[in-house]
Amino acid sequence: MLCSASLQTLTVSTQDHTTRLLYMRHRYAVPVLAMLLIALVVGLGVAIAVGHNPMATVDNSVLHWTVGHRSPAATTVMSGVTNLFGPAWVLTWTLLATVALILRDDTVMRGLTVLSTVAVAGALGTVFKAACHRIRPPLVDQASDYEVGKSFPSGHVTGTAALVCALALALTVASPAIWRTVAAVLALAISIFAAATRLYLGVHWFSDVVAAIVLAGAVALVMPAVVRELCVALSPHASPRFKPYIDPSIDANHLRRLQPESEHHASVAP
């Protein structure tokens, strides 16, 4: 009996240690991945700024292909659709989503995460535009609504990708893995479609939209943890009236109540 009890205690201790290691690995893996992705965008921007664009051949090939495959009808459609991914509409969708999530949850965690993701991604994109100072494709290759502003990365795609990625993470935070995967694929598809409209119209290079999607994805990955830490820091100083809205532990309990009943008794994967 003593040996059996000791073995059981050792097994539980080993399992707890393994769980903690996996938790710590996941905790640090996401921000490290996000930093690596942002570093790739920075590296590409620096290379472009100094005249050594590693994607120059692809950029030119994609531009020439899109110019050669336009039609008046498609150009009209793309010109209209691309406006839905512009800053004004992205801001509108972001504010609506933020308010809806806050009202739905009675806490700010998910809504603030969506809002901050779009804001931070947009701010970084603006900084990169100013630093890289990349010229857009020639006006002769642009289909309509000629644009001459800075090109790298695409602002339309950065904002759109940040919004849909943030929503994909926020709306599936308590969902099974299959639904999180579906949401991620849908967010990527919308981001690619937004990028396709910019490429078709000839207002961005291929590397502009790739960098925008990567940048937005990186910010979307890291902002939930940033917002949570911010709320943890502010919660002790909040008044009793507002504390329930920013206390992460209250938010976590609320999200657990949102899970299906079958999820409540499921074992936690190691």
Domain definitions of the chain by residue range: 26-257
Contact 192, 213 (CB under 8 A): yes
Given pLDDT bands bounded at 50, 70 and 90, which one contains residue 102?
confident
pLDDT of residue 146: 77
Contact 66, 202 (CB under 8 A): yes
Contact 245, 108 (CB under 8 A): yes
Measured CA to CA, the distance from residue 129 to residue 42 in angstroms comes to 11
> Is the model's pLDDT at 114 over the cut of 90?
yes
Q: How far is CA 193 from CA 79, 97, 198, 229, in A?
A: 13, 21, 9, 33
pLDDT of residue 263: 46
**What is the average pLDDT across 240-268?**
53
Lowest mean pLDDT among 34-38, 104-108, 152-156: 104-108
Measured CA to CA, the distance from residue 233 to residue 227 in angstroms comes to 10
Percent of the chain with pLDDT over 90: 42
- Lookup: tokens for 4: 């059996």
**What is the average pLDDT across 173-192?**
91
> Is the model's pLDDT at 248 over the cut of 90?
no
- Lookup: tokens for 65: 């292909």
How many C-beta neighbours within 10 Å does residue 179 have?
13
Given pLDDT bands bounded at 50, 70 and 90, which one contains residue 193?
very high
pLDDT of residue 84: 87
Q: How far is CA 33 from CA 27, 111, 203, in A?
A: 11, 23, 30
pLDDT of residue 57: 92
What pTM was computed for the model?
A: 0.79
Block residue for tokens 């664009």: 53
> Is the model's pLDDT at 19 over the cut of 50?
no
Any idea of the CA torsion for 225, 127, 51, 160, to the nearest 10 degrees?
60
Kindly give the interhelix angle for 155-171 and 87-105, rounded to the nearest 10 degrees.
10
Region class of 3: left (phi > 0), else alpha (psi between -120 and 50), else beta: alpha
The secondary structure element, H or E, covering residue 124 is helix 109-132
Measured CA to CA, the distance from residue 12 to residue 18 in angstroms comes to 10
Lowest mean pLDDT among 7-16, 44-53, 68-77, 200-209: 7-16
pLDDT of residue 255: 47
Q: How far is CA 175 from CA 29, 87, 164, 191, 193, in A?
A: 21, 30, 17, 22, 26
Report which of residues 255 and 66 the model is more confident about. 66
